[in-house]
Amino acid sequence: MGVLRAVLLAFEAVERKVAWLLLRLGRPVRVHPFSGYGTGGWAQLGGRVLVEAPARVGSAAPRTSTARASRLAVLRANLLPFLSVEVPGALVRVTLEGREVLVRADPEGYVQVRFEDVQLPPGRHQATLTPVRPAGPPAFGTVHVPDPAADLAVVSDVDDTIVDSGIAHGLAATLSTMLLREQSTRVPLTGAPELYRAMAQGAPGGVERPFFYLSTSPWNLVGFLQGFLARHRFPEGPLVLTDWGPGADSLLRVSTRTHKLSTLRQLAQALPHSRFVLIGDSGQEDPAIYADFCAEHPGRVVAVYIRRAGAASPASDQRGEQAGRVLAEAGVPYVLAEDTDAMLRHAVEHGLVGPA
């Protein structure tokens, strides 16, 4: 037995025991839905079955200062999504437009369901996910069905593309942003919501273009990210995140390249008549990943927009230059920009959005 497999089995055994103990103590169960999408007679979505965190009860006034108490409250709120306890093997009933299936959660509490032969008109459709064993209240997710008349689909990274995660500024900045900053105070990078709304409404005939948000952030942050997108009026669309923690392929998570390239391939297959606008940043591997996708799928990408994240470095410059050469050979416009204005100007000039 390999080391990874042994660690995974031990980790799963501990999680099962913790979940069993908490359930015996009467803690409730809840499904946290992940939005999905569908087209051409099928639909898919997912979620995660978790033991609910304990409710906070009133207590005596803290002895710490108000400022320190506030910082501790922010830290606790930001840590809470990462302290979740999943329910392995939970049975969940999923209903969509009169169709119903029972699905069993995997060892990490994730459920994935795909409905076949279901005809959904373009728009947003509500799915209901109800824990059956152990029992819990229903939760509601959204299935996005793109309009086949849409000329483009937009796929966007999240961290350092629409919101500053601190990743480009090092580990300390990332941890400070993630743990010590109140999430409701985080704002989008300048101009991002306006650009995305213009792209969403830029199709001929007023057809709404579909959006997909692709990130290596953990599923633990799906609630924050959904709220962030809604609060700042980004176009609605599924979030495709990753599982952080021991799994079949790694001790932490799948690689950025594997996650993003495999998702792009799935979208290309799911939307065979769509062409794509790909938006990312220079802080990780987005330029190279997008260039590889363009090379694999000639004619399917109309533009690649990359926001420069953090200070330029020889490594990021080399990645950007190499991606630029691949994209130039594929005939795909490539914009490496310091801000959203350059992307918007290019989009207007090439008819991807209407004049500002």
Reported as a single tens digit per residue, the pLDDT across 95-133 is 999 999 999 999 889 999 999 989 899 999 999 999 999
Check residue 219 and give its pLDDT.
Answer: 86
Residue 258 identity: T
Helix, strand, coil tally for the chain in percent (to 5) = 40, 30, 35
Could you read off the pLDDT of 60-93 as tens digits, one per residue? 444 556 766 677 777 777 667 667 788 999 999 9
Q: Return the structure tokens found at 329.
A: 């050979």
Check residue 15 and give its pLDDT.
Answer: 66
CA distance 280 to 33: 25
Check if the beta carbon of residue 318 is closer than 8 Å to that of residue 195.
Answer: no
Only one residue has tokens 């999680």, namely 15
Could you read off the pLDDT of 281-331 as tens digits, one per residue? 988 789 999 999 999 999 999 999 999 886 667 777 777 888 889 999 999
CA distance 45 to 144: 10
What are the Cα distances from residue 218, in Å, to 223, 239, 253, 296, 337?
11, 11, 9, 27, 27
Q: Across residues 189-207, what is the average pLDDT? A: 89
Check residue 212 and give its pLDDT.
Answer: 98
In this prediction the pTM is: 0.85
Check residue 248 and give its pLDDT.
Answer: 46
Q: Which fold has domain 152-349?
A: Rossmann fold (3.40.50)
- Residue 148 has phi, psi (to 5 degrees) of -60, -15
Q: Which fold has domain 3-53+83-145?
A: Immunoglobulin-like (2.60.40)
Average pLDDT of the residues of the chain: 84
Whether the predicted pLDDT of 227 surpasses 70 = yes
Check residue 60 and give its pLDDT.
Answer: 45
Check residue 175 and give its pLDDT.
Answer: 57
Check residue 65 and give its pLDDT.
Answer: 60
Q: How confident is the model at residue 253 (pLDDT cuts 50, 70, 90)?
A: low
- Residue 304 has phi, psi (to 5 degrees) of -125, 125
- Domains of the chain, residue spans: 3-53+83-145, 152-349
Whether the predicted pLDDT of 268 surpasses 50 = yes
Average the pLDDT over each of 2-6, 49-53, 178-182 and give the range with the smallest value: 2-6
Check residue 289 and give its pLDDT.
Answer: 95
Q: Across residues 160-186, what is the average pLDDT? A: 67
Q: What is the largest CA-CA distance in the chain?
A: 67
Tell me if the bond preceding 134 is cis, omega within 30° of 0: yes
